[in-house]
Structure 1
Amino acid sequence: MRNLKKIILLSILSCSILPVFAQRASWIWYPGDFDIYMSNVMQNRRTERGSFFPVFWKMDSHYVLVDFHKEFTINAPEEVKIFVQGTYNVKIDGQAIAGFPKTIQIPAGKHKLSLKVYSQGAVPAIFVQGKTIVSDETWLTTFEDKEWIDQSGKVSDKSGTTFVTAGSWNFTDPNVLPSNFKLPVTAQYAVKKEKAGNGYVADFGKETFGFVKIHGLKGKGKLGMYYGESKEEALSKEKCETLDYLDVDLAAKRDSVMPLSKAFRYVNFQAENGVTADSISMLYEYAPVTERGSFKSSDQELNKIYDVAKYTFHLNTREFFIDGIKRDRWVWSGDAYQSYLMNYYSFFDAPTVKRTLLAQRGKDPVTAHINTIMDYSFYWFLGIYDYYKFTGDKKFVQDIYPRMQSLMTYIDGRKNKNGLLEWMPGDWIFIDWADKLSKDGEVSFEQLLYARSLETMALCAKLANDTTNAVKYEKEAKSLKAKIFELYWNETKSALVHSRVGNQPTANVTRYANMFGIFFDYFTPEQKLAVKEHVLLNDKIAKITTPYMRFYELEALCALGEQSYVLKEMKNYWGGMLKLGATSFWEEYNPDKKGVEHLEMYGRPFGKSLCHAWGASPIYLLGKYYLGVSPDAPGYETYTIQPNLGGLEWMEGKVPTADGDISVYMNKNEIKINSAVGTGQLRIKSRTKPVVKGAAVKSVAKDLYQVTIRKHKNYIIKYSPPAP
C-alpha cells in the first residue's frame, strides 16, 4: 500500500513537472502596434446621447505587413505549432514552406525561423510554441525588410533593414486572438429602485461602469434607458449625457445586454407601448489589477478619502489610463501622467503605463502635439523617465527613444525667434480649466515644462547610448532654464510671472509655473520660501479649482514640508466632495457652487465628469509625502523613506515596487519599517538621537538623522519629535 501511494505521488509530480520543460510562449507583434490598435478601438467607443463622438486628433494605425524572425540552436529535432492573426508565410533558413502550415518540424542545429504576416483589419501577430522555440519579446521584427534579389536569383547579403524587438501583452492562450481581447466583467445589482414615469430609476449605490443587462425583456415598442452619475442626470431624459434606445419586438421573454459600456450610478428605465422587463442588472467591467499599495491612519475622514480615491483610480484604469469613465474615455496625456504617479503608489502596474505611453505617441511623422496640446507633449516625456525611475526598465526607454527624438524635433521646430514656445495654429495650450487664464504670448509654464523635457531627453539619450545628443539636450536645457529666470523672474513679486506678450513680461502671477518650479527643484532655497509665501499661501493669487492642478499645488507644498497644511486642504477639498455625496472624485470641484451647479460643465447641465482619474491624487500624496517613500536609483535599488505625520496621530501603509512592498508604520514615538527591495535611507527628524536595534544612526543635520534600511529585515525606530 505504501509503495502504491509512492507510485501515485510520483505520477502526480511528473504530470505537474512536464509542462515546465516547455517554455511559455506569447502572442507578439510589431512594438506599439497593438497598443495603437486597441487605443483606437477603445477611444472610438465614445458616444454622447447615442451619437458617435470621435477624438480630436490624428489616429495612427498598425503596420499591415510585418516580418518576424529569430535564430535558434536546438540539440534535437523539434515540433513547433504556429498560430497567426493574418495571412502568412513561413521560412526556415530562408526556404519557404508551402501553404499555411499549422505545425512544422525543425531539425537539430542552428536555424532561423521567419514569418511574414499581412493583416489589414487587425494587428499582424504570431504565436509560436515548441519545446524550446517560442514567440516572445526576444524575437526581431520589422515593417520593411528592404531585401532584393538580383537577375541571377541571388538574395542580397547586405540590408538596410532596421529590426526591433517584438511587442507583447503577455497573451499566452494561442486560441484567443489578440484582437478579441476584452476586459473581464462580473454581475452586479441595483441596491434600490424608485418609480419614475412609466418605469423606475435603479440606484446601483455608487459610481460604476459596465454593461446594463435587461432580464425578461418582452413586448413590442420603445425602450429608453437614461444613465446618470447623479439622480438628476438620469431623470433628465432631454439632457443626460448618455442613453440607450431600443426598438423591441419580442414575443417571448429574453435577456439582453447593451452593446456599449456606460458610466453611471443611476439608470432611468422607461418602457413604452406594452414593453415589459422583469429587472435590470449590470456586468461590471474592470481592469484585473492587484491593489498592492495601502494607507490607513488615525483620521477616519482621510481614510475614506484614500479609499474613494483608489476606487476612482481603479474605475479609470482600463486597457489604458483614461481621463473619465462617463464622457471622454480617451487617453489624454496630462491625465495619464498623473495616473502613472498614482499607479506607482497603488497597483504598480507597469504594463498599463507602457501601453498608454505607446498609444499616446503613435507613429511618425509627427504632425501635432500629443492630443494637440503643447503641455501634453511635455507630460509624455516626463512620464517615460518616471517609468524608468520607478521600474528600472531600461529596455523600454531604449525602445521608445527614437519616438522621443522625433517628437522633440517637431517641438524644437516650433520655437519662435526668442527660442521660446508660444501658441501656433493647430496648438492648444491647456494648462488648466480656469476662468480668465491667459494663454497669450510666451507662457512661462510651457517653457518650464519644455526645459524639464529637454533634461529628460538628455537622461534618456544616455540610456540609449546616444552620447552626442545627450550633450546637446543637456546644453539646451541649461540654456532654457537660464532664460526662464532671466525673462520671467520678478524680484518685486518674488515669483515667476505668467507670460511675456510683445517681448515684455506681464505683471500677472499665477500658481502654475511657480509650483512646478518647486518640485522640479529649479528655485534656490530663498526663492522656494519666497514662492511659498507670495504665491502658494497667498489668497490673492487666483485659486485652483480642479483636482488636476490641486495635485501639483499640494505636491509643491508637501515638497516644502507643509504636510500639516496639505492635510487640512485634502480634508477640505476632497472631504468637501464626500460631504456632497460623492462616491468617486470629480473632474472639477468649486466649494463656492451650490446644488446642481456642481454637475454643470462645458455649458451643459450634466457635462461634468463625477469620476475623473485626476481626482484621485491623494493616493500619490499620501504615499510619497506622508509615508514618504520614493526611489533614488531606478527600480528602488536605493530609495528614501522620509515619513511625515502632518498632524496625524499614527499612519501605516505599503508602497509597492517591482520586487515587493515597502511597509511603513509611524506614530509620534515610533517608526516600523520592512522592505522587500534595495537599500533605503530612513530620514527622520528627532530632538534626540533615535534608537534602533541592528542599525547605525547617523546625524546629517540639526535634529535630522538617517538610518540605513536593508531588505527583509524588521526595523523599530524610537524617536522624539521636534517641538512644533
Structure 2
Amino acid sequence: MRKYLALLGCALSVVSHDGQSQQLPPVFDQSYESQQDSRVRRYLTPRRIVWTSDKTGGSIVDAQNLLREGTGQADLVHQNFCKLISNDGQQPGILFDFGKEIQGGIQIVTDQPANQKPIKIRIRFGESVSEAMSSIDSIQGATNDHAMRDFTVEVPWLGVMQVGNSGFRFARIDLVDPNRELQLKEVRAIFEYRDIPYLGSFKSNDDRLNKIWNTGAYTVHLNMQEYLWDGIKRDRLVWVGDMHPEVMTINTVFGKNEVVAKSLDHARDITPLPGWMNGISAYSMWWVLIHRDLYKNQGDLQYLRKQQKYLVGLLDQLIEKTKDNKENLDGMRFLDWPSSENPKGVHAGLHAMMVMTLEAGVELCTILDEPAQALKCKNTATQLKLYVPDANGSKQAAALLALSGLVAAEKANAEVISQGDCERFSTFYGYYMLQAKAKAKDYNGALNCIRSYWGGMLDMGASTFWEDFDLAWTKNAEPIDELVPEGKDDIHGDFGAYCYKNLRHSLCHGWASGPTSWLSEHVLGVSIVEPGCKTIRIQPNLGDLTWVEGTYPTPMGVVKIRHEKQADGSIKSTIDAPKGVKVLR
C-alpha cells in the first residue's frame, strides 16, 4: 500500500492548529487549496431517553439499546438495536438527552430491516426539552434561523448518516414514512470543539461559585468555533461587543488563542471606515477596548501594530462624533437589549463608553508611537468628563459611568446597581455591573448576585449561560431538562423579548460568561500591571469565602495561587509564578 501511494506523488505538507506538520493525501496536487479546520469531534452516547411517543411497546421496541456505548459502525450481527414501527396514523418518536449543551450534529447508525429502501426521519435539535419537542411556528418562536434544527432527511439501510450543525443538548427523532420499520443501532451526538487545555482554573469552598466559573468557561469554549461566535444556535456571528466578555474569559481560561485575532480582524476587514462594526457604534468602541485588554494580557506588539492604521482612523471618527462635550454617535445606539427602551440611559452609557474608549486610545497610541493621536484622545476625553449624564435608573449605564470614572463607583452602586439586588441585571452587562461593584468594594454583594443570578440559570438545568435571564421567570417554571407539566411555565418557551423571544432564545451565549473572568480577577485577585503579564498584582478579595485557589495563564506560563482566610481575618497566600512574571502584592 505504501509503495502504491508513493507512485501517486509526494504528499502536500500542511500545518495544523497546534503547529504540528500534517500531510494531505498524496492524490492532492499543488492546484488544491485547503484550510485546516482547527476543531476536533467526539461522539457522545445519550445519557437518557426523556420521552417516547409509545407507552405500550408496540411501535417502539427496545429503546434502551440506544443508551449503550456504540462504535459508529454498522454490522451484520443484527443485535442490540431499537425498532420504530409506523403505520398510516402513527409516527413513532424518541427524545434523547446528551447530558450537556454541545455544538455539532448527530450520527445515526441503522440496521437491516427487510425493506432496504432509504427511510425518512425527522430530526429536531433543542437546547431545552421543550424546544426539541416543538415545531417551527410563529407562536413559540422555534426557528431554523442561523442553524437548521428541525428538518427531514433520509437514512440508509444498514449504514451510517451524519447530519446537523447546531447548538443543542436534546434531540428528537421521528419515523416519518408510513408503514415502515426503522432499525436504529446507534444514535450519537457529534461534539465539535477546539481541543485546547483549560490553563486557568478557580476553586473555592463554595461549590456553587466553582460551578458558575466552569460553566462560563465552557460557554465560551463552545463558541470558539472557526470564529468566535456569540451563540452556537443563534446567533452564529461575530458580534464585536459580545466578544469583550468572551475575550476576557479566554484570557482567563485559555490564554492566547487564534480565534480572537481571527475574529477581530474579520470584523475590521468587513467594516471599512466610516462604517460601524455590526452597524452599532458601541461595537466599534468595544473593538478598541478589546485590543487594549488583549494587549495587556498577551503583550503582542507585532499584532497590535497591524491594527494601527484602522485604529487611528477609528479614533478620529469617534472624536468627530462628539458635540458640546457630549457623545453624538450615530448608527444603531445600543448597549444591550434590556436597556434599549431607555434612551437617556443609553446616552449615558454611550457617553461613558466614549470616555473609556478614548482613554484606551491614549494607551494604545502611546504604545504605537502616535503621540499626536494620543494627545487628541486625551484632550477629547478630558472635555467629555466635564459633562455627567444621568443614568436614568439604568444599571447598565450606571456601571459604565462608574467604570469610566464619571460617577463615583460607591454612588453608582448604592443608588442604582444594588437597588433590588439582582433585579434588572442582564447576562451581557451583568459583567460590567459586577466590575462596578468591585470598584465600589462591594465584593459580598457581587458574589451574592453571581450566586443568585447566574446560579439561577443552573437551578433551571442550564449547562451553559443564556442570552438573557430574569430571576422572575423561575417562580413557576420547570427546568429546561424536563417536559413542562400542566400549570407550570416553560422557562425557555414562555419568556424572552426583542430578538430572543420564546424558543428562539439562545441558551448558550458567550457574552454571559462574565463571572468567570470576574472571579479570577477579583476573588483570586489577578490583575495585569505590565503588558504581557510581565508584572501582575495579586490582591485577593475573599468576601465571605474561607479559601480559594486557582491558576492564571500568562505568555510565560501558568501562575498558581492559593489564599486562605486566617482566624484573625487576614489572608495567607501561596503564589508560584513562572520565570519572567513579577508578582506585586
Alignment of 1:361-400 (within 5 A): 361-363=268-270, 365-400=272-307
Provide the rounded CA distance (Å) in 1 between the counterparts of 2:205 and 2:541.
Answer: 14
Higher deviation after alignment, 368-377 or 462-471: 462-471
Residue matched to 1:235: 133
Alignment of 1:186-225 (within 5 A): 186-193=42-49, 194-196=51-53, 198-216=92-110, 219-225=117-123
User: Does the 8 Å CA contact 1:293/1:346 hold for their aligned counterparts?
Assistant: yes
In structure 1, which of residues 553, 571, 586 is the aligned counterpart of residue 451 of structure 2?
A: 571
Residue matched to 1:18: none
Residue matched to 1:456: 360
Amino acid at match of 1:330: L
User: Does the 8 Å CA contact 1:210/1:282 hold for their aligned counterparts?
Assistant: yes
User: Does the 8 Å CA contact 1:422/1:441 hold for their aligned counterparts?
Assistant: no
Which has the larger share of strand? 1
Provide the rounded CA distance (Å) in 1 between the counterparts of 2:442 and 2:241.
Answer: 25
Q: 1:637-673 CA deviation, whole Å, 9 max, x = no partner?
A: 2121101111011111111111112221111122211
Pair 1:264-2:184 in alignment: no
Amino acid at match of 2:222: L
In structure 2, which of residues 385, 403, 414 is the aligned counterpart of residue 481 of structure 1?
A: 385
Amino acid at match of 1:447: H
Structure 1 residue 211, shift from structure 2 partner? 1.8
Structure 1 residue 440, shift from structure 2 partner? 6.3
In structure 1, which of residues 404, 424, 439 is the aligned counterpart of residue 343 of structure 2?
A: 439
In structure 1, which of residues 295, 298, 307 is the aligned counterpart of residue 214 of structure 2?
A: 307
Residue matched to 2:124: 226
Alignment of 1:120-269 (within 5 A): 172-173=21-22, 175=24, 177-181=33-37, 183-193=39-49, 194-196=51-53, 198-216=92-110, 219-239=117-137, 240-242=142-144, 243-248=149-154, 250=156, 252-258=157-163, 260-269=164-173
SS at match of 2:337: coil
In structure 1, which of residues 646, 660, 668 is the aligned counterpart of residue 543 of structure 2?
A: 646
- CA gap 1:545/1:619 in 2 versus in 1, 3 angstroms: same
Pair 1:545-2:425 in alignment: yes
Residue matched to 1:535: 416
User: Does the 8 Å CA contact 1:342/1:620 hold for their aligned counterparts?
Assistant: yes
Provide the rounded CA distance (Å) in 2 between the counterparts of 1:388 and 1:667.
Answer: 31
Provide the rounded CA distance (Å) in 1 between the counterparts of 2:346 and 2:472.
Answer: 32
In structure 2, which of residues 568, 574, 578 is the aligned counterpart of residue 672 of structure 1?
A: 574
User: Does the 8 Å CA contact 1:220/1:275 hold for their aligned counterparts?
Assistant: no
User: Does the 8 Å CA contact 1:214/1:277 hold for their aligned counterparts?
Assistant: no
Q: 1:596-651 CA deviation, whole Å, 9 max, x = no partner?
A: 45313347430111111122222111100001011111112212110111101111
- CA gap 1:650/1:408 in 2 versus in 1, 3 angstroms: same
In structure 2, which of residues 437, 442, 457 is the aligned counterpart of residue 557 of structure 1?
A: 437
SS at match of 1:592: helix
Residue matched to 1:624: 521
Q: 1:323-349 CA deviation, whole Å, 9 max, x = no partner?
A: 111111111111111111111111112
User: Does the 8 Å CA contact 1:219/1:276 hold for their aligned counterparts?
Assistant: no
Residue matched to 1:655: 552
Residue matched to 1:513: 397
User: Does the 8 Å CA contact 1:171/1:178 hold for their aligned counterparts?
Assistant: no
SS at match of 2:353: helix
Provide the rounded CA distance (Å) in 2 between the counterparts of 1:364 and 1:229.
Answer: 32
Unaligned runs of 5+ in 1: 1-101, 104-126, 130-134, 136-167, 489-496, 499-507, 683-724
User: Does the 8 Å CA contact 1:421/1:442 hold for their aligned counterparts?
Assistant: no
Provide the rounded CA distance (Å) in 2 between the counterparts of 1:379 and 1:433.
Answer: 16
Alignment of 1:50-89 (within 5 A): none
- CA gap 1:248/1:529 in 2 versus in 1, 3 angstroms: closer
Alignment of 1:674-713 (within 5 A): 674-676=576-578, 677-682=580-585
Pair 1:286-2:193 in alignment: yes
Q: What is the TM-score with the length of structure 2 in the denominator?
A: 0.78
Provide the rounded CA distance (Å) in 1 between the counterparts of 2:380 and 2:194.
Answer: 41
Provide the rounded CA distance (Å) in 2 between the counterparts of 1:190 and 1:334.
Answer: 35
Question: How many pairs does the alignment contain?
Answer: 492
Q: 1:455-483 CA deviation, whole Å, 9 max, x = no partner?
A: 2222222222222222222222222223x
Amino acid at match of 2:306: D
- CA gap 1:632/1:247 in 2 versus in 1, 3 angstroms: closer
In structure 2, which of residues 162, 166, 182 is the aligned counterpart of residue 276 of structure 1?
A: 182
Q: What is the TM-score with the length of structure 1 in the denominator?
A: 0.64
Q: Please say which structure displays the higher CA radius of gyration.
A: 1
Which has the larger share of helix? 2
- CA gap 1:224/1:294 in 2 versus in 1, 3 angstroms: same
Unaligned runs of 5+ in 2: 1-9, 26-32, 54-90, 478-488, 567-571
Q: 1:470-499 CA deviation, whole Å, 9 max, x = no partner?
A: 2222222222223x33xx2xxxxxxxx03x
Amino acid at match of 1:638: T
Residue matched to 1:94: none
- CA gap 1:440/1:565 in 2 versus in 1, 3 angstroms: closer
Higher relative contact order, chain-length normalized (CA < 8 Å, sep 6+)? 2
Amino acid at match of 1:223: I
Q: 1:294-341 CA deviation, whole Å, 9 max, x = no partner?
A: 111111222222222222221122223211111111111111111111
SS at match of 2:273: coil
Provide the rounded CA distance (Å) in 2 between the counterparts of 1:570 and 1:441.
Answer: 24
User: Does the 8 Å CA contact 1:241/1:327 hold for their aligned counterparts?
Assistant: no
Q: 1:490-533 CA deviation, whole Å, 9 max, x = no partner?
A: xxxxxxx03xxxxxxxxx3422333223333444xxx3332232
User: Does the 8 Å CA contact 2:312/2:373 hold for their aligned counterparts?
Assistant: no
In structure 2, which of residues 460, 469, 473 is the aligned counterpart of residue 589 of structure 1?
A: 469
Provide the rounded CA distance (Å) in 2 between the counterparts of 1:435 and 1:511.
Answer: 8
- CA gap 1:520/1:422 in 2 versus in 1, 3 angstroms: closer
SS at match of 2:159: strand
Question: Quick one: percent identity of the two aligned structures?
Answer: 25
Provide the rounded CA distance (Å) in 2 between the counterparts of 1:518 and 1:249.
Answer: 58
Structure 1 residue 423, shift from structure 2 partner? 5.8
Q: 1:249-288 CA deviation, whole Å, 9 max, x = no partner?
A: 74x3221111x41111111101222262413112210012
Provide the rounded CA distance (Å) in 2 between the counterparts of 1:571 and 1:321.
Answer: 27
- CA gap 1:461/1:170 in 2 versus in 1, 3 angstroms: farther
SS at match of 1:606: helix
Provide the rounded CA distance (Å) in 2 between the counterparts of 1:515 and 1:249.
Answer: 53
Provide the rounded CA distance (Å) in 2 between the counterparts of 1:172 and 1:285.
Answer: 22
Residue matched to 1:29: none
User: Does the 8 Å CA contact 2:340/2:346 hold for their aligned counterparts?
Assistant: no
Q: 1:671-712 CA deviation, whole Å, 9 max, x = no partner?
A: 211111421111xxxxxxxxxxxxxxxxxxxxxxxxxxxxxx
SS at match of 1:581: coil
Alignment of 1:13-92 (within 5 A): none
- CA gap 1:319/1:442 in 2 versus in 1, 3 angstroms: closer
User: Does the 8 Å CA contact 2:444/2:543 hold for their aligned counterparts?
Assistant: yes
Provide the rounded CA distance (Å) in 2 between the counterparts of 1:362 and 1:660.
Answer: 32
Amino acid at match of 1:446: L
User: Does the 8 Å CA contact 2:346/2:397 hold for their aligned counterparts?
Assistant: no
Provide the rounded CA distance (Å) in 2 between the counterparts of 1:175 and 1:406.
Answer: 42
User: Does the 8 Å CA contact 1:169/1:351 hold for their aligned counterparts?
Assistant: no
- CA gap 1:522/1:257 in 2 versus in 1, 3 angstroms: same
User: Does the 8 Å CA contact 2:355/2:404 hold for their aligned counterparts?
Assistant: no
Residue matched to 1:598: 491
User: Does the 8 Å CA contact 1:337/1:379 hold for their aligned counterparts?
Assistant: yes
Provide the rounded CA distance (Å) in 2 between the counterparts of 1:439 and 1:169.
Answer: 47
